[in-house]
Amino acid sequence: MDSMSTAILLLLLALIYLFLTISSKGKGQLPPGPRPLPFLGNLLQLRSQDMLTSLTKLSKKYGSVYTVYLGPRRVVVLSGYQAVKEALVDQGEEFSGRGDYPVFLNFTKGNGIAFSNGDRWKVLRRFSVQILRNFGMGKRSIEERILEESNFLLAELRKTEGEPFDPTFVLSRSVSNIICSVIFGSRFDYEDERLLNIIHLINENFQIMSSPWGELYNIFPSLLDWLPGPHRCLFQNFGRMKDLIARSVRDHQATLDPESPRDFIDCFLTKIAQEKQDPLSHFHMDTLLMTTHNLIFGGTETVGTTLRHAFLVLLKYPKVQARVQEEIDRVVGRERLPALEDRPAMPYTDAVIHEVQRFADVIPMSLPHRVIRDTAFRGFLLPKGTDIITLLNTVHYDPSQFLTPQEFNPEHFLDASQSFKKSPAFMPFSAGRRLCLGESLARMELFLYFTAILQNFSLQPLGAPEDIDLTPISSGLGNLPRPFQLRLRAR
Ligand code: HEM
């Protein structure tokens, strides 16, 4: 070996040594995991086109708590009901921070609820929960709004007249209208440009974020910022959505009466005015735009995607569909729409909806968390600021919690006397301090839409039920069902 090659080799060794020393600094006593390479981290062990499967596989080798490097970023991964519950519930405060999520963070700059930390997160979350409650969330008034909206949806569905159609668009428009009416003050007509834009932008972004490009962007954001690809569309869409909200905010400003707020935006604008003199206030135009965006984004695609999964399951298992319809007919009849007060008398339907949410596992890796102080956890010491991924899919498919986790089986939520049975491992909305802010609204929507549709229609597949594939077409931020068409037969 000549002296030049020796020098290069020595330099390389020195660099690797330096990397290993730096990356082990501030490590506390981190859980074990695969050894990372400089810059690439554990990319060789991860297939970015299917991060979920790769991370789940690693948990089989390294246990329910392990360390992995997503590129240069160090993350601790938790899997299985017990570990996730101990972190999010038993040590909820420590694990309540929000970890890096570059696809969102580069847009929100930490200004909304979902991607902020510390005081800002607490203040914005408390305020938003309060305002949403004032506008009926979790109460009878929002139920009435959902029932009104389901009537519009049923009218749209009748127009299909038994012809095959893809339900994505029609469901999203209707679901989105509920949260939009709270944010903007009134529902949109289904042909309104603004609603169509919102649906299109959110749907496209949810798809990109659930694709390999979304995953890759989260690992190497600064590199991908230089490269062409669908991820560029993400930020254009985010920008358009922000413009759309900003236009509505300007209209609100022009007609605002602080004494009688019409909606979420009015309340936020009033709060901005009240705290104008406070330089440390968290209420300003950017937090308004991003909080509003978080609520619309969170409230649109998740519920729509869950309903699409539910449709697919019902198409595949006609007996389940028939039994739900039998229960609706017996408890509610056909003269009025099902209401929330019917739910306790409908254990089978309730169990089916819970099982759809478990089985579909719509947000399989939740959103990343972060420990907000040095945290002792299961014999390890996680340094303050360590990002945490909670694999909700491993909770929903945990064999210690569900008898036949790989199968769609409503019995998971029924006891021996066929009464509804809760499961602590039911976590589609996550758990602890960061629990989905829209949980109560989403659960109302799912029950009321699901039952209204099945009361009025039977869902029929275009081919043989056994050929229906329930595995997602892609998994990332979301578990997306395969595209499909169906026919509706009026009952
Ligand atoms: C089936 C429907 C839904 C599912 C499966 C779902 C799931 C989730 C999950 C897994 C998280 C992350 C929790 C964590 O970090 O631990 C989350 C957060 C959030 N969701 Fe939902 N969600 C749904 C509906 C909604 C609705 C209807 C809204 C709006 C009203 C909403 C607004 C939010 C917000 C604002 C956050 C961030 C909370 C925070 O960081 O403090 N979600 N959701």
Coil, helix or strand at residue 450: helix
Q: What local confidence, expressed as pLDDT, does residue 110 receive? A: 86
* pLDDT higher than threshold 70 for residue 63: yes
* pLDDT higher than threshold 50 for residue 14: no
pLDDT digits (tens, 9 = 90+) for 192-220: 999 999 999 999 998 888 888 888 888 88
Which amino acid, residue 98? R
CB-based contact 381:362 (threshold 8 Å): no
Residue 15 counted as domain residue:
no
- Radius of gyration of the chain measured on its C-alpha atoms: 24
State the distance from the centre of ligand 1 to the C-alpha of 20, rounded, in angstroms.
Answer: 37
Between β-strands 387-391 and 369-370, what pairing exists: parallel, antiparallel or unpaired? Answer: antiparallel
Q: Which residue has the tokens 């200004």?
A: 111
Question: Taking the mean position of all CA atoms in its chain, how far away is CA 131?
Answer: 21
Maximum alpha-carbon separation in the chain = 90
Q: What is the DSSP string of 456-469?
A: HEEEEESS-GGG--
Q: Give which of 50, 46, 83, 51 is closest to 64, Cα–Cα.
A: 83
Strand partners, 414: 420
Residue 350 counted as domain residue:
yes
Copy the structure tokens of residue 147.
């029932």
- What average pLDDT does this structure show over 91-105? 93
Q: How far apart are CA 190 and CA 153, in angstroms?
A: 9
- What average pLDDT does this structure show over 364-377? 97
Q: What local confidence, expressed as pLDDT, does residue 18 receive? A: 45
Q: What local confidence, expressed as pLDDT, does residue 210 receive? A: 84
Is pTM beyond 0.85? Reply is yes
Among 436, 437, 445, 447, which residue has the most ligand 1 atoms within 8 Å of its CB, making it the best to mutate? Answer: 436
Residue 415 counted as domain residue:
yes
Residue 193 counted as domain residue:
yes
* pLDDT higher than threshold 60 for residue 436: yes
CB-based contact 454:486 (threshold 8 Å): no
Residue 17 counted as domain residue:
no
Q: How far apart are CA 312 and CA 110, in angstroms?
A: 36
Task: Return the higher-pLDDT residue of 146 and 15.
Answer: 146
Copy the structure tokens of residue 345.
């008398």
pLDDT digits (tens, 9 = 90+) for 262-305: 999 999 999 999 999 999 999 999 999 999 999 999 999 899 99
Buried b (16+ CB within 10 A) or exposed e, 212-239: bbbbbbbbbbeebeeeeeebeebeebbe
**Number of domains observed in the structure of the chain:** 1
Among 429, 441, 475, which residue has the most ligand 1 atoms within 8 Å of its CB, making it the best to mutate? Answer: 429
Q: What is the mean pLDDT of the chain?
A: 92
CB atoms closer than 10 angstroms to residue 440:
17
Copy the structure tokens of residue 409.
């089986």
State the distance from the centre of ligand 1 to the C-alpha of 81, rounded, in angstroms.
Answer: 19
Q: What local confidence, expressed as pLDDT, does residue 6 receive? A: 53
- What average pLDDT does this structure show over 54-71? 94
CB-based contact 118:93 (threshold 8 Å): no
Residue 5 counted as domain residue:
no
Q: Which residue has the tokens 């578990």?
A: 479
Instruction: Please give the number of the atom of ligand 1 that sits closest to the Cα of 433.
Output: 41
Strand partners, 73: 70
CATH number of the domain enclosing 278:
1.10.630.10
Comparing 28-32, 177-181, 459-463, the range with the smallest average pLDDT is 28-32
Between β-strands 369-370 and 97-98, what pairing exists: parallel, antiparallel or unpaired? Answer: antiparallel
* pLDDT higher than threshold 90 for residue 98: yes
CB-based contact 429:435 (threshold 8 Å): yes
Copy the structure tokens of residue 274.
């009240």
Q: How far apart are CA 366 and CA 475, in angstroms?
A: 12
User: Which contiguous run of DSSP H or E holds residue 278?
Assistant: none
Which residues touch 367 (CB under 8 Å, ≥6 apart)?
A: 98, 99, 101, 114, 430, 434
Residue 71 counted as domain residue:
yes
CB-based contact 103:214 (threshold 8 Å): yes
Copy the structure tokens of residue 459.
């869902």
Q: What local confidence, expressed as pLDDT, does residue 3 receive? A: 57
Q: What local confidence, expressed as pLDDT, does residue 25 receive? A: 47
Q: What local confidence, expressed as pLDDT, does residue 322 receive? A: 98
State the distance from the centre of ligand 1 to the C-alpha of 436, rounded, in angstroms.
Answer: 3
State the distance from the centre of ligand 1 to the C-alpha of 298, rounded, in angstroms.
Answer: 6
Q: How far apart are CA 334 and CA 354, in angstroms?
A: 24
Which amino acid, residue 427? M
Q: Is 267 annotated as a binding residue?
A: no
Instruction: Please give the number of the atom of ligand 1 that sits closest to the Cα of 441.
Output: 27
* pLDDT higher than threshold 80 for residue 17: no
Residue 14 counted as domain residue:
no
CB-based contact 204:241 (threshold 8 Å): no
- What average pLDDT does this structure show over 1-30? 54
pLDDT digits (tens, 9 = 90+) for 116-174: 999 999 999 999 999 999 888 877 789 999 999 999 999 999 999 999 999 999 999 99
Domain of residue 461 covers 23-490
Q: What is the DSSP string of 321-370?
A: HHHHHHHHHHHT-SSS---GGGGGG-HHHHHHHHHHHHHH-SSTT-S-EE
* pLDDT higher than threshold 60 for residue 22: no
Which residues touch 416 (CB under 8 Å, ≥6 apart)?
A: none
Which residues touch 441 (CB under 8 Å, ≥6 apart)?
A: 132, 137, 138, 142, 178, 179, 299
State the distance from the centre of ligand 1 to the C-alpha of 229, rounded, in angstroms.
Answer: 28
Cβ < 6 Å from ligand 1: which residues? Answer: 98, 113-114, 125, 179, 294-295, 298-299, 302-303, 306, 362-363, 366-367, 428-430, 434, 436-438, 441-442
Q: What local confidence, expressed as pLDDT, does residue 471 receive? A: 94
- What average pLDDT does this structure show over 320-348? 97
State the distance from the centre of ligand 1 to the C-alpha of 377, rounded, in angstroms.
Answer: 25
Three-state SS for 65-105 is: EEEEEECCEEEEEEECHHHHHHHHHHCCCCCCEECCCHHHH
